[in-house]
Amino acid sequence: MTIREATISDVDHIHKLGEVVDEFDTGDEVVTFWPKHILQNCIQSKTDWIMVADENDEILGFSICSYSPVFKKAVVENIFISPNHQKKGIGKKLLEAVLEKVRSTDCENIVIYTEEHNQAAIELYIDNGFIKGVNCVWFDMVLSEEFRKK
């Protein structure tokens, strides 16, 4: 298995994996996962990136991170491992790749969110130096029809 930066040819597979994940469903009106053109923009961006775990041309999981040079802050938007490949250390390797990429910038703060009952993710983040914050409530406002569930 290798961890690498995603390419445009990976977009369909990443999107297919992300569309079926319940934890990406944040509300009744908002699409559950990034539209394909947003994934393409991320791959082509100099400040945002998608990393994939790839084995024999099959994407086992991915991570998406956005970085703001103005705020010197990175946000890990998603880390997802296909259910058939969970509990094999792939999430840890993707997180390590994201952290390496972030450390190559002048980033001063990195944040990541997960559902409060996702104990495996919480343990992964704490084990890798993240500090658990206080509980909060997620709010969405749809400004584009492309982000509205149909």
Q: What is the number of domains present in the chain? A: 1
Query: Does 115 score more than 90 pLDDT?
Result: no
pLDDT tens profile 103-113: 999 999 999 98
pLDDT tens profile 75-107: 998 899 998 999 999 999 999 999 999 999 999
The CA angle 91-69-146, to the nearest 5 degrees, is 70
Mean pLDDT, rounded, for 38-62: 95
pLDDT tens profile 2-45: 999 999 999 999 999 888 776 655 556 655 678 899 999 999 99
pLDDT bucket at 133, cuts 50 / 70 / 90: confident
C-alpha distances (whole Å) from 41 to each of 32, 57, 61, 92 are: 18, 22, 19, 25
The CATH number for 44's domain is 3.40.630.30
Between CA 72 and CA 49 the distance in angstroms is 15
Query: Does 71 score more than 90 pLDDT?
Result: yes
Between CA 80 and CA 112 the distance in angstroms is 13
Between CA 60 and CA 54 the distance in angstroms is 6
Between CA 35 and CA 39 the distance in angstroms is 7
Residue 145 in tokens:
């029809």
pLDDT tens profile 40-49: 999 999 999 9
Between CA 9 and CA 61 the distance in angstroms is 15
Domain region containing 104: 2-147
Q: What is the pTM of this model?
A: 0.86
Mean pLDDT, rounded, for 63-71: 96
Between CA 33 and CA 14 the distance in angstroms is 10
